[in-house]
Structure 1
Amino acid sequence: MNYPVNEIFETIQGEGAKTGVPSVFLRLQGCPVGCSWCDTKHTWEVDKTKLTSIENVVDVSNTSDCWADLDENMLLSRLQKYSAKHIVITGGEPCMYDLRPLTALLHQNGFTTQIETSGTFEIYTHENTYVTVSPKVGMKGGYSVLVSALNRANEIKHPVATEQHIRDLQALLAKISHNQFVEVCLQPISQKKRATELAIAECIKHNWRLSVQMHKYLMID
């Protein structure tokens, strides 16, 4: 299985329940969801004229729309060069692709894996992959959040700025199987003061967790 890779870099996970975990981020190219506040809009299109080599997507702060076409064995070889053994597969929208060949190979070789997805595509991954669904409701692309994605989630990391976002989240949570435990994290959009105050109040009210995008406060990738 080949994957369009926009960038690979080692850092600290800055969001959600795994904040602080040393991680290698594997960012895939391609996303049709169309979030207005997206900070990686350069990953939306998979333009075949922007195909590049692996050297141009590794250990760089990549804000270009170039991508390398890499299979799971090439990715394993590259990822084994890092100290961190937790691999975060993000995008773009990584669940546009079948992630089972890649995640299975990574788990066989001593890695843990995490996917960060909008929940708008079916999730095909290893059974032990930690799945973070950051549900995107009413976005420009017109995609709906899938109940199957919510039920596969280990964590729902919900971007919030207004009370409507809280109502959207509660509607999604009502769809989850009663037997499914999922960690709920609220993430203020763009660290705005009002959004942060709302998120804190709702976390206290519902016993949810706050996700503050620590990497942006620390000014690291």
Structure 2
Amino acid sequence: MSTYKINEVFESLQGEGSYTGLPSIFVRLQGCPVGCPWCDTKHTWVVSPELKTTSNAVMAETAESDSWFEQTTEQLLGLFNLHGYVAKHIVITGGEPCLYDLTEITSSLIAKGYSVQIETSGTYEIIAHPDTWVTVSPKINMPGGRLVLRSAMRRANEIKHPIAMQKHIEELDEVLTLLGDQAVPNIYLQPISQQKRATDLAIKTCIARNWRLSLQTHKFIGIE
């Protein structure tokens, strides 16, 4: 039975992309080598054995931490019940969740009646139940040096791209060529850190290209 290294679990509303506003249980996995400079979860990057702890210790934390615990899917379902979570949508994020083979966890959750979403950089193979909703936020020219994979782009149900300047639009145009003749899924532009310049550029580009805007709603309303 597979186990997963978990940085945090919490229930909230999805604030980004197609599922914005949907009550969701977030499962944040530990580990990410991509190295995005603006990442707001850098505490999930390194899997340090000395920071392994218990689920009780992590769930009791009131601030971001680089500690993590390890559980099976069945144990994770028990954790949902223990904390009274009622949302029926699961977001598996990170870190980079596709460091893991997610077949078992996604299949088990879907069999239990949950819808499941993965949020990934697109730099690792996506191994999951075919009914999993995949959000690819393609991380291009990041310090970790990993390339966005054609297979990940072609598996995406939506593409969500953080931008701050025109070069980020140009990078997205380049990586969209990986789709070949496949239909382009919904594309969301997300202004980095809600900067005015980035937001103005995202609005202008979305209107010009008939793309969509993702505004990290959870940050505007002050929830996790």
TM-score when normalising by structure 1: 0.97
Counterpart amino acid of residue 72 in structure 1: T
Partner of 1:105: 108
- Please give the alpha-carbon distance, in whole angstroms, between the structure 2 residues aligned to 1:157 and 1:61: 29
Q: Gaps (5+ residues) in structure 1? A: none
Q: Please give the secondary structure, in 2, of the residue aligned with 1:95.
A: helix
Structure 1 segments of 4+ aligned residues over 6 angstroms from their partners:
none
- Please give the alpha-carbon distance, in whole angstroms, between the structure 2 residues aligned to 1:124 and 1:59: 31
Q: Please give the secondary structure, in 2, of the residue aligned with 1:126.
A: coil
Partner of 1:212: 215
- Please give the alpha-carbon distance, in whole angstroms, between the structure 1 residues aligned to 2:186 and 2:118: 15
Q: Please give the secondary structure, in 2, of the residue aligned with 1:123.
A: coil
- Please give the alpha-carbon distance, in whole angstroms, between the structure 2 residues aligned to 1:52 and 1:190: 31
Matching of residues 30-179 of structure 1 within 5 Å: 30-58=31-59, 60-80=61-81, 81-179=84-182
Contact 2:206 2:213 in 1 (8 A): yes
Counterpart amino acid of residue 170 in structure 2: R
Q: Gaps (5+ residues) in structure 2? A: none
- Please give the alpha-carbon distance, in whole angstroms, between the structure 1 residues aligned to 2:149 and 2:20: 25
* CA offset digits 1:48-85 (Å, max 9, x no partner): 00011111233755411000011111112223441101
RMSD: 1.2
Cα distance change on mapping 1:25 and 1:150 into 2, 3 Å: same
- Please give the alpha-carbon distance, in whole angstroms, between the structure 2 residues aligned to 1:219 and 1:206: 30
Q: CA deviation at 1:139?
A: 0.6
- Please give the alpha-carbon distance, in whole angstroms, between the structure 2 residues aligned to 1:107 and 1:5: 19
- Please give the alpha-carbon distance, in whole angstroms, between the structure 2 residues aligned to 1:135 and 1:142: 13
Cα distance change on mapping 1:25 and 1:83 into 2, 3 Å: same
TM-score when normalising by structure 2: 0.96
- Please give the alpha-carbon distance, in whole angstroms, between the structure 2 residues aligned to 1:83 and 1:76: 11
Q: CA deviation at 1:179?
A: 3.2
Cα distance change on mapping 1:216 and 1:100 into 2, 3 Å: same
Q: CA deviation at 1:170?
A: 0.9
> How many residue pairs align between the two structures?
221
- Please give the alpha-carbon distance, in whole angstroms, between the structure 2 residues aligned to 1:115 and 1:18: 12
Contact 1:7 1:59 in 2 (8 A): no
- Please give the alpha-carbon distance, in whole angstroms, between the structure 2 residues aligned to 1:37 and 1:179: 30
Cα distance change on mapping 1:144 and 1:213 into 2, 3 Å: same
Counterpart amino acid of residue 27 in structure 1: R
* CA offset digits 1:119-140 (Å, max 9, x no partner): 0000001111100000111111
Contact 1:114 1:132 in 2 (8 A): yes
Cα distance change on mapping 1:136 and 1:61 into 2, 3 Å: farther
Q: CA deviation at 1:219?
A: 0.9
